[in-house]
Amino acid sequence: MKPNIELSEKSRRDTVMGLNALLADEFVLGTSTRKCHWNVTGRHFHDLHELFDKQYEALDGIVDDVAERARALGGHAIGTLSEFIKLARLKEHPGAYPGATEMVAELLAGHEKVIRRLRLDVAACSGKLGDVGSADFLTGLMERHEKMAWMLRSFLEEKSDGQANGAVSSLTYRRK
């Protein structure tokens, strides 16, 4: 039975197509994050292992939410590895095991690519597709990706002396 929700068949179909492409990107990003979680080494192992764990769990939830949004609009959600790879705009790096800093940079680039795409999709849904519900849903996802990207970006802003940019050393700060 088709949903009777004041959206044309074309609008629903186009939104579902976009959601399935997003679903593929989310799956690839989640898998890449899990790979980093399993393979991170070095001085920041514990912190990054925990960060990657939290992020891939969040991405697992996002994957489910995107698939369910596609279904709520009367479409189908893709669900095979070959479909994910075919539709994903993010690319995998099989056989590559970069260092911790490169892992963070690659995941950050993935989140930022998803964020840029989400901005376009929000505009399309709220504009020509007339689907404010999906626009709102995608805006929420964009905000979640922006937060994850911020966490990754903050790690990359670390100076070689171990202090973040702009940080004040507790040894040099004195109260009067």
Q: How is the chain split into domains, by residue range?
A: 9-156
Can you give the pTM of this predicted structure? 0.87
Instruction: Return the structure tokens found at 149.
Output: 């990207």
Give the tens place of pLDDT for each residue, 20-73: 999 999 999 999 999 999 999 999 999 999 999 999 999 999 999 999 999 999
The answer to whether residues 73 and 23 touch, using CB atoms and an 8 Å cutoff, is: no
Look up residue 155 and give its amino acid: F
Per-residue pLDDT for 176 more than 90?
no
Look up residue 140 and give its amino acid: G
Question: pLDDT tier at 4 (50, 70, 90 boundaries)?
Answer: confident
Give the tens place of pLDDT for each residue, 95-146: 999 999 999 999 999 999 999 999 999 999 999 999 999 999 999 999 999 9
Distance CA 42, CA 55 (A): 19
Distance CA 107, CA 32 (A): 7
**CATH fold of the domain at 9-156:** Ferritin (1.20.1260)
